[in-house]
Structure 1
Amino acid sequence: MKLCKFHLRYHPPGILLEYLQSGIIKFKTIDLLDFTAKSDVQSIVKSIAQTEQLITENVIDQLNLCINKLKKKLEAEITVGRHFYIYKTLQSHLLPITNVAFNKEGKKCLTASYDRTCKIWNVETGKEEKSLLGHKNVVYSVSYNFPLCDRIVTGSFDKTAKIWDTVTGECLSTLWGHQAEVVSASFSPTNDLVATASMDHTARVFHGSTGQEVSTLLGHSGEIIALNFNRCTGQQIITGSFDGTISIWDIRAKERAGVLKGHDAEISNCVFNWDCRLIGSSSLDKSVRIWDVRKQISLTNIHNHTDEVLDVAFDWCGRRLASVSADCSARIYDACTDFRELAVMIGHKDEISKVSFSPGGTLLLTASADLTARLWNSHNGTCTQVLSGHRGEVFSCAFNYHGDTVITASTDNTCRVWR
């Protein structure tokens, strides 16, 4: 084996080793989830060199430079006082937007709409690049295939999903089989598979290149509204349903590997943490739960909200979990030790439907029916900025990969880009 080059991953901290083995280029990831701006670089380098055979004496200096670069990036993200200004308004949809997504570099974004289209935008110019036409009903879900981002999958109320070429805008394949609305569709992070979830109580897995169905995942007794791949293996999917349960599916075995029961009402979302050892879930029963994936047990049941919990999100290291609710509050919990509440964010005047951490984890972003999004200090819960200007409910929001751009989507048919 011969090391070819280092690739830095800022969020969460890590290094990707690109190496040559038997004439084949391969990759290996070294996670540095405990690395902070205060970490000792020399100790980290020494520890990696002692445990990783690809790190030889002649690349130690290069590794040192990489870790120092990573540290400087984290130091730059400590400041939470940054102010975001309106940069562009994306407006050409005829009906309300349903979802948004950045590509990996944050230079392009997708919008889905009730007008039956998905649009590709140039974030730098604010110009529409492509309008993806072909669905016969609402386009509800949009997603890139990370990290390449050369394909898009859309899920629609017309009971299909479609895979598109990002350059030409051509529809590469249509994924058939569902008997009701497709509300979630995403690519596997590790192999050429696409999974879809539907109001017909099923999830389905397809070959990404051919569009051929691989398996139908049966077992839920209610609509499936959330679906996520295990990013570590790509061979596991979780689904959250209106039947109040979360299912864990083994893609290779094409069967359900476990059912997480405990919520007393519909699931609103379920997500893996970074290393996929934990699942966070939110429910209309006003509770938040954190689950152990391997043991398939609930580690905690949090009832701090006074109304329906509408969304949850882990920070990029998977150490903290945030939740938002119809009670107009956002809350952050320790997800690894005692599960205590770390911060409460009060200020929105109507229900909060979406939450996400900034890539560095210092900020929390929330979207609300009060026509605003807000940025919060994720450590003490203070509001650092109100993103106002939309004329309708703000139902979706996201950071780009570098954390220097925010997008907000509203029922006023527009997205606003903030920098």
Structure 2
Amino acid sequence: MKLAGLKSVEGAHDESAWAAAWVPETDTRPSLLLTGSLDETVRLWRPDDLELERTSTGHCLGVVWVAAHPSGVIAASSSLDSFVRVFDVDTNATIATLEAPPSEVWKLQFNPKGTTLAVAGGGSASVNLWDTSTWQLIATLQIPRPEGPKHSDKSGNKKFVLSLAWSPDGKRLACGSMDGTISIFDVARAKFLHHLEGHFMPVRSLAYSPIEPRLLFSGSDDAHIHMYDVEGKTLAGAMSGHASWVLSVDVAPDGAAVASGSSDRTVRLWDLGMRAAVQTMSSHTDQVWAVAFRPSGGSSRGGRLASVSDDKSISLYDYS
């Protein structure tokens, strides 16, 4: 497995780029790359040449995260303005605007069937679930405080929810917090199941394996990437090599590798069989906030990985 740099676009945004997600192809167009930035815009790029397709506006503060619906027709963006904007990918028409209190919107992700949008509730230590047919709030999952002396902080800010990930079957939702814990929920019952521990600093990113649905990967400010057996409640492995915070992780469609982006300005590719980094890419000059593999399927050929950075650029890699 390896990455090969295809193209980088300097000044892809006017400010730091924090978010990246792939929009699935539809009957009328190929897949697109979605990026979000502190310049308040969401931009759509063609997947092989990184030509700008269009710029979507609608937020009045920086865009923190973006997510695409499995249909490829709509997408959602979260912003520091405390709103989630749901919009039509091809027309930029606003489908829904979901409001949250200040600092309450961070990561967001559609479930695999596209029926529910999960929004990490930031400082409220909760995750809100929205029905995508009515855009009504259907559940709020409260993050319980782990037991033990290292979790005795009474200020509550350590429970700030930074990251989330749906299991491939949509039955479980994993939520990463500022205190380093990961909470696992049974979504249908809106029930907390258990914590996964091992990190002692903020968990910035989570990603399930598309091949092994029990496996969950996490990236943390402790510079480590962890691999958990979610059902067995165990830490199955750890990978180290970044010199600073791991801000983003994503699992390759073949399940054989993980990509990570870090504040050490690098993108790394990790072989899961070897549990080691096999490649380090240094196309960025500032911290890398997001890495995203293009999902397999459809007419797209060749694996793609995208990364975005505080340096305002996007880099595209071939994954093989």
Q: Shorter-chain TM-score: what band?
A: 0.7 to 0.9
Q: What does 1:13-28 correspond to in 2, within 5 Å?
A: none
| 1:225 alignment partner, one of 95, 102, 106 | 106
1:123 aligns with 2:47: yes
1:151–1:163 contact (8 Å) kept in structure 2: yes
Letter in 2 for 1:131: T
2:154 aligned partner: none
1:83–1:385 contact (8 Å) kept in structure 2: yes
Could you tell me the percent identity over the aligned residues? 21
| 2:4 alignment partner, one of 53, 75, 85 | 85
**Which structure carries more helix by proportion?**
1
2:64–2:107 contact (8 Å) kept in structure 1: no
Task: Provide closer, same or farther for how the CA distance between residues 242 and 411 of structure 1 changes in structure 2, counting only shifts above 3 A.
Answer: same
Shift of 1:389: 2.0
Q: Distance in 1 between matches of 2:86 and 2:187?
A: 30
1:358 aligns with 2:244: no
User: Per-residue displacement from partner, 1:243-272 (whole Å, max 9, x unpaired)?
Assistant: 333455678785537645235522222322
* Secondary structure of the corresponding residue to residue 285 of structure 1: coil
Shift of 1:369: 0.2
2:127–2:140 contact (8 Å) kept in structure 1: no
Query: 1 or 2 for the larger relative contact order (CA 8 Å, sep ≥6)?
Result: 2
Q: Distance in 2 between matches of 1:350 and 1:296?
A: 35
Comparing 82-91 and 106-115, the one that deviates more: 106-115
1:268 aligned partner: 162
What TM-score, normalized to structure 2? Answer: 0.79
Letter in 2 for 1:244: A
Letter in 1 for 2:180: K
| 1:99 alignment partner, one of 11, 19, 40 | 19
1:243 aligned partner: 124
1:368 aligned partner: 262
Task: Provide closer, same or farther for how the CA distance between residues 416 and 380 of structure 1 changes in structure 2, counting only shifts above 3 A.
Answer: same
1:4 aligned partner: none
Structure 1 residue runs of 5 or longer lacking an equivalent are: 1-81, 177-195, 202-222
1:139–1:155 contact (8 Å) kept in structure 2: yes
User: Per-residue displacement from partner, 1:70-112 (whole Å, max 9, x unpaired)?
Assistant: xxxxxxxxxxxx2211101123322211212222257421222
Task: Provide closer, same or farther for how the CA distance between residues 199 and 90 of structure 1 changes in structure 2, counting only shifts above 3 A.
Answer: farther
1:273–1:279 contact (8 Å) kept in structure 2: yes
What TM-score, normalized to structure 1? Answer: 0.62
Letter in 2 for 1:291: F
Shift of 1:390: 0.7
Q: Distance in 1 between matches of 2:116 and 2:52?
A: 35
Q: Distance in 1 between matches of 2:99 and 2:210?
A: 24
Q: Distance in 1 between matches of 2:68 and 2:205?
A: 21
| 1:173 alignment partner, one of 94, 119, 125 | 94
| 1:406 alignment partner, one of 305, 314, 317 | 305
1:357–1:364 contact (8 Å) kept in structure 2: yes
Task: Provide closer, same or farther for how the CA distance between residues 288 and 118 of structure 1 changes in structure 2, counting only shifts above 3 A.
Answer: closer
Shift of 1:230: 4.0
Shift of 1:304: 1.4
1:322 aligned partner: 217
Structure 2 residue runs of 5 or longer lacking an equivalent are: 152-158, 297-301
1:137 aligns with 2:61: yes
Q: Distance in 2 between matches of 1:415 and 1:380?
A: 28
Q: Distance in 2 between matches of 1:163 and 1:301?
A: 31
1:200 aligned partner: 102
Q: Distance in 1 between matches of 2:190 and 2:85?
A: 33
Q: Distance in 2 between matches of 1:146 and 1:414?
A: 26
Shift of 1:409: 0.6
Shift of 1:341: 1.9
Task: Provide closer, same or farther for how the CA distance between residues 254 and 311 of structure 1 changes in structure 2, counting only shifts above 3 A.
Answer: closer
RMSD of aligned residue pairs (Cα, Å): 3.0
* Secondary structure of the corresponding residue to residue 225 of structure 1: coil
Count of aligned pairs between the two proteins? 294
Larger radius of gyration between Structure 1 and Structure 2: 1
1:30 aligned partner: none
| 2:228 alignment partner, one of 333, 339, 347 | 333
2:69–2:110 contact (8 Å) kept in structure 1: no
Q: Distance in 1 between matches of 2:114 and 2:6?
A: 38
1:62 aligned partner: none
Task: Provide closer, same or farther for how the CA distance between residues 257 and 344 of structure 1 changes in structure 2, counting only shifts above 3 A.
Answer: closer
Letter in 2 for 1:289: S
Q: Distance in 2 between matches of 1:257 and 1:94?
A: 35
